[in-house]
Structure 1
Amino acid sequence: MFAVLSPARKVLRRVAGIASVAVLTACAPIGLSDLGSSGGGPSINPNAPVQVALLVPKSDPGAASVARSLENAARLAIADLGGVNIDLRVYDTAGQADTAAAQAQRAVDEGAKIILGPLFQNAANAAGVAVADEGINVLSFSNNTAIAGGNVFVLGSTFDNTATRLLSYARSQGKGDVAVLYTDNVPGQVARNAITTAAARTGATVVGAEAYALNTESLTAAVGRVKGLVDSGAAQSIFLTDDWDGGLSVVLQLAPEQGISPASTQYIGLTRWDIRSDGFHLPGINGSYFAMPDTSMAQNFSARYAQAYGSQPHNLGGLAFDGIAAIGALVKAGRKDALTAKALTQSAGFQGTGGVFRLLADGTNQRALAVATVRNNQVVILDPAPRSFGGAGF
């Protein structure tokens, strides 16, 4: 045990600094639920060029590569539209909320009919507030549902959507009684709440939730409390909210060693566990459940992007492609109301880089996801991502 805990302490000391940054960037934004209307948005001439503003943090040193990938993906999507004239104009937010608000207003003053972006939640919130009184919708790249509503939509994959998919599948497999093990910070608390909400939606049951700070002593104690729920028979599954940039690798090693066996207890992950193959040897990941987009669609997008730009897209780059694809599909249909909330939230949804998705009236989104696991150091799809809404998996 001590041989395990010694390196674990080193890892957790390193990620504690990362967690503190996450807390700072996850501060609660101003709500927009009282702005705009369910059908709000401008009328357009679908046969004329449609001006779209792309707001990205081009001059932010820490996000410039993401901004470049988002812009490239947006232009790749425009090239696919055939017959739809999108006039894309790019505005630099510098990663700052006040700059994003000013640039959003400038874009609308210059003729933008819809805003794609910004990237960061506070910037997206500020941009939405700035143009709400002019009836302009914002398709942000954030995944924070706290800023969704009114004229702001989030394109990023949300905890709510992922938790719902995974708990629905777990319940179908007789493993719907879950104990949640979450990081004791704002992102962890948001994740815990998403799991609780998803449980109520799917008929699963959260039998307990235990928080841990990013140090070995706290994690050991939290795992011990979860083990009590498992040993008593209350919990069939353990739902983890951590990710590879946090303490996930330590959790997936430590929890099995403390007696929560993956052979008898289902491990479920809220984050993408497939992106770090060097973690596939950890005992907790074998036989686990986690969610991922349609692999064939995602690989097709990455290949086309690489062919066009000579490099792989950032993992958020596809969000800009999705936004343009949605806008283009509605404009191509000849709809004067293509950029209104009523049109954007059509129930049929849109084809995106990771499969089908749709925007919801509350500003959040629903995305098709596959349920996957790891066996023999390989990712295995247990339940494929649905190809349309209304089918299995939704």
Structure 2
Amino acid sequence: MGLIVDQTQNVFKRGLRAIGLIGALAAILALAGCGGLDLGGVFKDSGSGGFGGNAPSQNVTPAKVALLLPLTAPGRTANIAAAMKKAAEMAMIEAGQTNVTLITKDTAGNPQTAAAAAQAAIAEGAEIILGPLLGSEVAAVAPIARGRNIPVIAFSSVSSVARPGVYLMSFLPEQEVSNLLRHLSQSGIQTIAAMIPNSQYGNVVERALKTSAPVMGVTIVTTVRFNRNGQNLSAVSARIARAVNSPTNPARAVFIPEGGQILRSIGTSLTQAGFSPKSAKVLGTGLWDSPLTTGTPIAFGGWYAGVSPQKVQAFDQRYSATYQTKPPRIASLAYDALSLTLSFARSPIGTRFTPTQITNVEGFNGVNGLFRFRPDGRIERGLSILEVSAGGTKVAAPAPTQFSLGF
């Protein structure tokens, strides 16, 4: 495997462990796909003899890759960062022999430290930066990297920090909405009512809805905002019920980008207002990706866009086998970012980590499925459509295996 330089602990790790044949096969199967560049090509078990594309190309200069994460940030952020660091190292472990040196630096969860970490990494020869995680950190790192023509693949879900040269390896709400509305239109449902929370997240989702709806041929019948403290929930629910029960132009779907206990409260309020899920398809976002949703009747039969449970489970099992603990979902982003970087690193200096390479229109297949980066830095994902029931979540429509014209 390559060299992992962990400068957050000032230790060097080589040959953490050899991956067995079963592990290599699992990695290949988890990343297999029909379209785009298959990241599985960077994996090979040295004893299998069957999987190529992993050993460094002849006469290619080794690459230094920086990984910036808030490892000492307050609260849960540090735990999430630690899991992402482990996931990136797992990609190195599974890759076996590579020509990449991974340099990890702590951003501490603040822009000033992130900027200093980026400057140090570039001074040490980093050709590409993976991370940071937080939007404010990404904004601080971006001008430093741009000034040295160093690409950044960050993990923030704040789409406004994306720009040419700063790519977001994340789960953007905008992508969830566009995938969902595409499936809605294909299912023959073309009118929708939206119940949007008064929050920053709500603002992002509403913009995405208004952008995607006309493109997908979906008409927004009404949009109402509600307070998350429940103060105006009854009045908002009554408006949604009227839109669904309208005799002239009824909404055949209701979009509720909210989850947890608040979604349960919304369900109760809508029922009291005369709404029935039998009258309109209920839709959500990634906030529905919670065990609470399968115990929320208003969501039963509802759809949201996300990664299939099978893909999530496959990555979780491999991570758990390596580290004896279950990863947070976001850890998979670091794995895919490092795997993608390993595949790029096989090219010579001057042709690797270029905008053309990173924004390959055919995209890539990672542990979360199909994705590609736009020239403006935002990510596009091919997501499954998931359906909620009391027994769990199932795939209502599989994710695309390749990006088609007009996706």
| The two structures share one fold, judged by TM-score above 0.5 | yes
For 1:53, which of 41, 66, 82 is the aligned residue? Answer: 66
Check conservation: 1:262, 1:283, Cα contact below 8 A. no
Deviation, structure 1 residue 228: 2.1
Q: CA RMSD in A?
A: 2.1
Residues in 1 aligned to 2:347 and 2:65: alpha-carbon distance in whole angstroms: 17
Check conservation: 1:70, 1:317, Cα contact below 8 A. yes
Q: Deviations over 1:319-371 (max 9, x none)?
A: 10111111112223557422112110102222212112111111111112111
Task: Tell me the SS of whatever aligns to 1:247.
Answer: helix
Partner of residue 248, structure 1: 263
For 1:238, which of 254, 271, 274 is the aligned residue? Answer: 254
The one-letter code matched in structure 2 to 1:367 is R
Alpha carbons of structure 1 residues 185 and 47: separation in structure 2 relative to 1, 3 Å: same
Residues in 2 aligned to 1:74 and 1:374: alpha-carbon distance in whole angstroms: 31
Deviation, structure 1 residue 377: 2.6
Check conservation: 2:61, 2:348, Cα contact below 8 A. no
The one-letter code matched in structure 1 to 2:280 is T
Residues in 1 aligned to 2:222 and 2:59: alpha-carbon distance in whole angstroms: 52
Check conservation: 2:100, 2:345, Cα contact below 8 A. no
For 1:268, which of 273, 279, 283 is the aligned residue? Answer: 283
Check conservation: 2:359, 2:374, Cα contact below 8 A. yes
Does the alignment pair 1:114 with 2:143? Answer: no
Residues in 1 aligned to 2:140 and 2:194: alpha-carbon distance in whole angstroms: 33
Task: Tell me the SS of whatever aligns to 1:209.
Answer: strand
The one-letter code matched in structure 2 to 1:325 is S
Alpha carbons of structure 1 residues 224 and 50: separation in structure 2 relative to 1, 3 Å: same
If the length of structure 1 is used for normalisation, what is the TM-score? 0.83
The one-letter code matched in structure 1 to 2:60 is N
Partner of residue 143, structure 1: 157
For 2:274, which of 250, 256, 259 is the aligned residue? Answer: 259
Task: Tell me the SS of whatever aligns to 2:279.
Answer: coil
Q: Deviations over 1:155-191 (max 9, x none)?
A: 1111111111111111122222111111112211111
**Could you tell which deviates more after superposition, 44-53 or 301-310?**
44-53
- After TM superposition, list the pairs within 5 Å mapping 1:138-177 onto structure 2: 138-177=152-191
Residues in 2 aligned to 1:221 and 1:85: alpha-carbon distance in whole angstroms: 61
The one-letter code matched in structure 1 to 2:257 is T
Partner of residue 326, structure 2: 312
Check conservation: 1:83, 1:332, Cα contact below 8 A. no
Any gaps of 5 or more consecutive residues in structure 1? 1-43
Residues in 1 aligned to 2:151 and 2:245: alpha-carbon distance in whole angstroms: 50
Residues in 1 aligned to 2:230 and 2:391: alpha-carbon distance in whole angstroms: 26
Check conservation: 1:59, 1:92, Cα contact below 8 A. yes
Partner of residue 3, structure 2: none
Partner of residue 301, structure 1: 315
Residues in 1 aligned to 2:324 and 2:356: alpha-carbon distance in whole angstroms: 38
Partner of residue 9, structure 2: none
The one-letter code matched in structure 1 to 2:102 is L
- Report how many aligned residue pairs link the two structures: 348
Runs of 4+ aligned structure 1 residues displaced above 6 Å come to none
Deviation, structure 1 residue 390: 2.3
Residues in 1 aligned to 2:237 and 2:59: alpha-carbon distance in whole angstroms: 57
Partner of residue 32, structure 1: none
The one-letter code matched in structure 1 to 2:342 is G
Deviation, structure 1 residue 287: 0.9
Residues in 2 aligned to 1:217 and 1:46: alpha-carbon distance in whole angstroms: 66
Deviation, structure 1 residue 373: 1.1
Check conservation: 1:294, 1:368, Cα contact below 8 A. no
Deviation, structure 1 residue 208: 1.7
Residues in 1 aligned to 2:166 and 2:90: alpha-carbon distance in whole angstroms: 24
Deviation, structure 1 residue 207: 1.9
Deviation, structure 1 residue 260: 1.7
Alpha carbons of structure 1 residues 312 and 283: separation in structure 2 relative to 1, 3 Å: same
The one-letter code matched in structure 1 to 2:264 is S
The one-letter code matched in structure 1 to 2:370 is V
The one-letter code matched in structure 2 to 1:172 is Q
The one-letter code matched in structure 2 to 1:151 is G
Residues in 2 aligned to 1:250 and 1:275: alpha-carbon distance in whole angstroms: 16
